[in-house]
Amino acid sequence: MRFSYIPKGVCATRIDMELEGNVLCGCTFIGGCNGNGKGLALLAKGRRIDELIPLLKDVACDGHASCPAQLAAALQAYQNQAAGEYAK
């Protein structure tokens, strides 16, 4: 499933993700630091969402929001949406 998220407080303007169930198959950061976005995407690829969220959610960048934390927020938003769809 494809899922897009608008991050808050970072340079990236969108995070596009491809997911299969509980696994992040890939993601792309639109805008922001190209190298950091690509590196984060490579490290996260193939990992379980429930593993990534707690790992990334508290990462700060000089006391501010970070792309890793925003990826965790994006994954949480995906999980929340998926849970809502299953409840229907």
Q: Determine, yes or no, domain membership for 6.
A: yes
- pTM, two decimals, is 0.93
Contact assessment for residue 27 and residue 87, using Cβ atoms and an 8 Å cutoff: no
Residue 7: the pLDDT is 97
Residue 54: the pLDDT is 98
Looking at every residue in the chain, the average pLDDT score rounds to 94
Q: Determine, yes or no, domain membership for 88.
A: no
Helical H segments across 1-88, by residue range = 34-44, 49-56, 67-87
Domains contained in the chain, number: 1
Q: Which domain holds residue 62?
A: 2-83
Residue 82: the pLDDT is 87
Whichever domain contains 14, its CATH number is 3.30.390
**In the chain, which stretches have pLDDT less than 70?**
85-88
Residue 63: the pLDDT is 86
Residue 86: the pLDDT is 60
Among residues 30, 32, 33, 35, the alpha carbon closest in space to that of 17 is found at 30
